[in-house]
Amino acid sequence: MWSSQSTTAALLIAFAGCGGGNSVPISGLQSGGGGDLAMLSGTGPLGDTARPDLGARDADASSQSPMDAATTADSAVSPNPPDSSAPADMGMSAAKDAATATDMASTPVNPPPVTLQGVTVLGQGVDFTDASSDQGGNVWGVTSARVYFYRAGTGSALLFDQSSGLAQGKTTWIDPYWFGTPDNPSTQPVSFSAVAGGMAGEAFIGNIGYSGDRFQIDPANGAVVSVVGLAVTDLQQKDPDERLAQQRREVATWHAVVDLNGTFGGTAYFGGFHGTGALHGLTASRTSSVCGCTDYEEHIHAFSAGGDDVYGGDVHALFVTNEGDLWMGDRKALYFTPQGSLGANADFFQSIGVPGHPEETAIDVFPDVDDWNFGVAVDGSGGLYVASHGNGLAYLTPGTYAATYFNAGNVLPTNYLTGLDIDQNGEVWIATESSGVLRYSPSSGSFTRYTTAQGLPSNDIRQVHVDRYRAGRAVYFATDNGIAVYTGP
């Protein structure tokens, strides 16, 4: 395990709250070594072959259900997020929280602006799980039951669901692994869970039950052009036992991102209950089908040192770098795999690890507790912002990955963060479970908080998405009361 000695960071913080005064240095924020990192062993868990049989490598370590595995040595991969009633300081030692809380007690704070300029709300009254945008300037949103499509410049939605071919047309799924057993399978409802926009009129729609679909419509009239679903077949897993195991595991998507400049003609990356998958060929025409095809590569995740612990449970955090490579974050760790930097035809099964540290496989961002990484973003210098649902926010310094923590004990209104993204100007946008939106400005080292008092439709922010297809700033917040679209300064 790798961990570096903690140091104390002196940062300038201006937190927008209900007080007044000027920004002052805060000396109590703790900077650590980015947590423990699991070391690679031998040739690494993924080996050296172009397309190793990943399933065979993780079958024994992760074959039980999360309920059964809960009694083992922290090897469970559960589809359930942590209980929000957990202590707010989880992920920090009592001494660390006490120090930062003491420093903040006398720190003046600055109020947020009276209004949040440049906000429009789509679908007010609708409980959205996720929101995204496509290359044509259209806005996509998902609820548990429907997919919403807003044409660029309009406020009216086109609605789609299983009757449009999504989720293989099914409203339930039979589960013998996560919630049931092979002898007593459980019938579960299908729900839409994630969306990531691609070409104009195209999005990857994630779901719980059948993983997801590449969905293409004619943006002019809303006609469905094609729906490409996912299936694990012998093209993904040659061994029949492993194929059956992955068919049971690869059933859900928590979060998805799209890189139209990615490998093999553009790729959607999607993380779920177990591992991260890739669907290629987003810029190519496809007819409707269930894709047990080579475009679909499933699945990858890191392992601990020696391979005795399987990471990849509950992948909520994904980020594509400017080079087209991928960071992934799950319940236990954060890790990286090269993609675009290796060329247009690099497959998904590359070594997983930590850039600049070939002996490591993953970063334990919040040591001594489950990380519950719900968002990750890379800044212009290569530093990482990591949002946790339970532990607050961490910044990992470029190269060393030394961690600075922001939490409810020092500057955050809550430790329960639900998403994170970074815009073209380097501003970091953070979604919270019940405390609105946080905006972090690295240039000034200050946070600003926006709530319903400043124009948001809700303080319950389910996810945040920065539009990378347009030149100016556009940030989308999926809430339980509509999608807030921010295009202001």
Q: What does the DSSP assignment read for 33-102?
A: -SS-EEEP-TT-TT-SSSS--HHHHHTTTT-S-HHHHTTSSS----SSPPPTTS-TTTTS-HHHHHHHHH
| Cα atoms in the 13 Å half-sphere on the side-chain side of 223 | 4
At 387-412, the pLDDT tens digits run: 999 999 999 999 999 999 999 999 99
* Secondary structure element (H or E) that encloses residue 249, with its range: helix 240-249
- Tell me how far the alpha carbon of residue 5 is from its chain's centroid: 28
At 417-446, the pLDDT tens digits run: 999 999 999 999 999 999 999 999 999 999
At 258-316, the pLDDT tens digits run: 999 999 999 999 999 999 999 999 999 999 999 888 899 989 999 887 777 889 999 99
Three-state DSSP class for 131?
Answer: strand
What are the Cα distances from residue 463, in Å, to 128, 381, 477?
A: 9, 25, 6
What are the Cα distances from residue 169, in Å, to 66, 188, 208, 244, 444?
A: 27, 15, 13, 22, 50
Residue 133 carries which side chain, given as an amino acid letter?
S
Residue range 7-442+449-486 in CATH 2.130.10.10: yes
Among 23-27, 121-125, 169-173, 450-454, where is mean pLDDT lowest?
Answer: 23-27
Contacts of 254 (CB under 8 A, 6+ apart): 193, 194, 206, 271, 272, 273, 314, 315, 316
Average pLDDT (29-39) is 36
Q: What percent of the chain has pLDDT over 90?
A: 69
Query: Using CA of residue 175, residue 178, residue 182, residue 183, what is the dihedral sign?
Result: negative
Residue 344 carries which side chain, given as an amino acid letter?
A
Average pLDDT (198-225) is 97
At 73-128, the pLDDT tens digits run: 223 333 443 333 333 332 322 223 333 332 332 222 344 554 678 899 999 999 99
Q: Which residue has the higher pLDDT, 361 or 91?
A: 361
154 — pLDDT class (breaks 50, 70, 90):
confident
- For residue 267, count other CB atoms closer than 10 A to its CB: 29
DSSP string of 431-448, one letter each residue: EESSS-EEEEETTTTEEE
pLDDT at residue 242 is higher than 90: no
Q: What is the pLDDT of residue 422?
A: 98
Top mean-pLDDT range of 36-50, 108-122, 450-464 = 450-464
Q: What is the mean pLDDT of the chain?
A: 80
Going by their DSSP bridges, the two strands 475-479 and 326-329 should be labelled as unpaired
- Residue 386 · residue 375 · CB < 8 Å: yes
